[in-house]
Every structure is written in structure tokens, then in C-alpha cells.
Structure 1
Amino acid sequence: MMNVEHIHHYSHHLGRDMNIRVYGHDGLPIVAFPCQDGNCYNYEGYGFLDNIADYIDGGAIQLYVVDTVDVESWSNVWGDKGWRAWRQEQYFHYIVEEVLPCIYSRNHSGKQPITFGCSLGATHAAIVFLRRPDLFGGCLALSGAYDAKYFFDGWMDEVLYRNSPVHFMENLPPDHWYVELYNQRKPIFCVGQGPWEDEGRRTTAILRDQFNAKGIGAWCDFWGYDVEHDWPWWKKQIRYFLPYLL
């Protein structure tokens, strides 16, 4: 039976209670971000864990599925945009300064965590990894949208800029010390070219071109025109990429 632990804790960055579901007893730690507006049960609900149970039960990976505050940030279309952007910034700091120490207190693999997500979860995974490659060993971002203005009706301020990969990566100097770190890590960005993948395909292509221009060897993989923005394909993709991450 799969080892499952539930962590309920108070976040000082967010000023509210948060939850983390831990699957597996050890192995490469993976911070898993739910899809838009999801919570820590997201991957259970869609049978995603059964798809990778052999990796989890065999001790190859240990999944840490976090809650989100998307309903207050990315999805809060009628809210004040500046507050929404700041809420996302608080969430970023919650992951880096509260979730990451929690992982290190429980995981004994000695490996840096990988960030992972599908759809908006992939957006979170990309933001966290690309902003802090010194803390994370890579990312697996499936069908993400990496232009924050897409969620904010074209609006942006300096806070949202820090959470918009296609913008902050565009301005990263080619000689920035992060470039070497990216090339020591394992960043993967995958997107289909079928239904509901338009924004993901557009922004993944932008990131690919930015990576190439700066000499960053990220793996940007574009799957076929039959590949939809949906769970059956994400299940296939994680099994395809996990051996590379391991």
C-alpha cells in the first residue's frame, strides 16, 4: 500500500492554514502543483497516482502535493490586480521558504526537489524553478501558460513581472550565473498541439527561443496535433519524462 502522509500547517507568508499530501517514503522529492484552483488532493482525484505508483512505492520518487491560492490570485478576475499579483508573490515565498524546509525535514535522498505541474500547475512549477534554480534540481512543466498577462487582461506591474516567465527570462542577461545553473539542472517543458493547448504552445515556443538565445539547454517538447490539454496525455507524459529526471 502506498505510504501517504497529510501535513496541515499554518503559513506565515499567506496568513492561513495550508495542506500538503506526501506520497511515498523516500526518493527524488517532487513538489507537485495542482491544476487551476486545485488543492493537495488533485492528483488523487484523477487517478494520476495510480499511473506512477511503481515509482512511488519503489522509492524512486516522493511526491509533495501542495494546496494553491489560485482563487485569490490567478483566477480572481474581479479582484484588484495589484493585490492578486502580490498574493501570487506571497505564494511563491510560501513554497520556497516554508514548503521547501518541510521537504528537507522529511526526505533523506540528498537530492534537490523537482517542481512539477500540469496546466496552471505547470506555470507554478516553471515560476519556482526558473526563479530559484539554486534550490531546485529541475522542473517538469506540462501544458503550462507562461505569460502572466494572459490571466490579468494584459495588465502587469513589477510584482507580476516576477511571476511571468516569458518576461523575466527575456531580460535575463546571457552571462547571468543562473544560466550555468539551468544547464546543470533538468528543466522540461512539454505541450501538446491539440485542443485547448493554444496558449501553452505559444508561450512554450517563446521560452524555447529565449533558452536557445541564451545557451540554456532546456528540453522543450512539442507533442502531436492530437495531444489535448487533459489528464490522459499528462499521465503519458510523466511516464515518458520520469526516467530522464531520475
Structure 2
Amino acid sequence: MKEEYFKWYSPHLHRDVEMLVFGHAGFPVILFPTSKGSFHENRDMGLIGSAHWFIEQGLIQIFCPESNDAQSFYHKGIHPHQRIQNHVAYDKMICHEVVERIRLNTPVSKVAMAGCSFGGYHAANFAFRHPGYVSHMFSMSGAFDIRSFMDGYQHDDIFFNSPLEYLPGLQDYELWNMKIVLGTSNWDICYDANIKLHDVLEKRGVPHWFDVRHEKKHDWPIWKEMFPHYLSTIQFN
């Protein structure tokens, strides 16, 4: 399995960014790490290995950027306004420095977004904010409410990065063209969060697969079951 390491200076984050890319060809999948995770976390925890067949067959390429959570949502040493601005900068980095470059260098006009736990939030939030760029969104045990990180602070950027809040008013027709999977379990600590997002999508009439598995904990074993299953739903022709 081909593995490449990339490092560059991000003008949006004003620091160096690291990313691993797995595979030599295929449909592009952006895979976010969990809370404060590194660019190599998904490899180290076996999630990349769970998708090895798709990668080795040249069906997909997986791009694993690092997170910015330690500088945004989890940085309690700065004001909530700066936390959300740091997240907005990360969203711009993913959009302009990763996704747009991928789209320029592959015949595919859209990408897939995926992530586990808080990585599921990043996958869902990016997909719903930029539906014209995203064909598939696979959230595995995601959580979608960022208000708990904001200490009661109110700002439009918080609203427009909280899918449960902005989705009811989103009118972009590309949202209805996206293939959306919400994966969770009845034992998942994020089960209620997934029910809430499922309900919002249902009310909007947005097609999606609400995949509820049974007696599985919020941890890597269930995500390694889900990820290759969800990848198999991509039409590679």
C-alpha cells in the first residue's frame, strides 16, 4: 500500500501542517482524526488497514490531515471568539489547501468526507457547509454540537459551524445529492447526538442512511467495521 507524507506551511493556520496520503489512485476520501488527533492516528489505530483492499485496488485514496482542535475547541486558555476563529481558519485550510488541490489533480469533481468521533463532526460540518464539494459523508459516532466548547459565548461563526443549528435553514440543492451515512450504536456515547442529526435530516427530507449497530462501544473496533462497509457504497465507475 502506497503511503506518502506531506508537510507544508499553511497561510490560513500560520503554521506547518502535516498529512498522510494512502493509495496510488482512486476516489479521494478525506479522513479526519478524532479529538486533537494527529495526521497518523487513523493509520496507527488500524482504520487505514481496515480499508486496505480498496486502497490496494486503486479504488480510493485516503487523505489524513492533522486536526486543529488543540488550537480551537479544546484551547481553554483563549477566549471563545478566538477558538471559533481558529476553527474557521482550519475549515478554510481544508477547503482551499486540501480539497481544492485534490479536485485539481483528479478527474473527480467532488470528494468524500469521513471521520470518527469528533472527526465525524468535522466530516459532517465540512460536508454540510460545502455541499458542492462533497459527494459522500461518512460520520462514525460523530458529535455535532459545539456549544459546550464556547462557554455561553454567542457568535454567527458558532451558529454556522453547528450543523444542528444551520441545517434547518440550508437551501443548497447539492445537500440532497450527497450520500450521507450516520453510523452509531445503541451503546455509543454519541447515540443521542446522531438521533438529533437524523431527525433534522428527516425533517428536511434529505436522504441518508442512519446506521444503528447494537451493543458496540464508542471505540475503534466498531469504526473499523463501519469504514470499509461505508466505502463499499461508493460507485467507482
Q: Which moved more, 1:93-102 or 1:56-65?
A: 93-102
Task: Give the corresponding residue for 2:223.
Answer: 234
Task: Give the corresponding residue for 2:213.
Answer: 223
Considering only aligned residues, what root-mean-square deviation do their CA atoms show, in Å? 1.5
Distance apart, 1:168 and its partner CA: 0.8
List aligned pairs for 1:115-194, cutoff 5 A: 115-172=113-170, 176=171, 178=172, 180-194=173-187
Task: Give the corresponding residue for 1:52.
Answer: 51
Length-normalised TM-score, structure 1: 0.90
Contact 2:26 2:58 in 1 (8 A): yes
**Letter of the 1:220 counterpart:** F
Distance apart, 1:29 and its partner CA: 0.2
Q: Is the partner of 2:61 in helix, strand or coil?
A: strand
Task: Give the corresponding residue for 1:207.
Answer: 197
Q: Is the partner of 2:133 in helix, strand or coil?
A: coil
Structure 2 CA distance for partners of 1:112 and 1:7, relative to 1, 3 Å: same
**Letter of the 2:202 counterpart:** N
Unaligned runs of 5+ in 2: none
Distance apart, 1:155 and its partner CA: 3.9
Aligned residues: 235
Distance apart, 1:191 and its partner CA: 1.2
Structure 2 CA distance for partners of 1:153 and 1:129, relative to 1, 3 Å: same
Contact 1:74 1:84 in 2 (8 A): yes
2: CA distance, partners of 1:215 / 1:105: 32
List aligned pairs for 1:35-50, cutoff 5 A: 35-50=34-49
Q: Is the partner of 1:29 in helix, strand or coil?
A: strand
1: CA distance, partners of 2:14 / 2:198: 36
Contact 1:28 1:111 in 2 (8 A): no
**Letter of the 1:185 counterpart:** M
Distance apart, 1:242 and its partner CA: 1.5
Task: Give the corresponding residue for 2:234.
Answer: 245
2: CA distance, partners of 1:164 / 1:154: 14
Length-normalised TM-score, structure 2: 0.94
Distance apart, 1:154 and its partner CA: 4.6
Distance apart, 1:55 and its partner CA: 0.6
Distance apart, 1:52 and its partner CA: 1.2
2: CA distance, partners of 1:109 / 1:53: 22
**Letter of the 2:119 counterpart:** G
**Letter of the 1:206 counterpart:** K
Unaligned runs of 5+ in 1: none
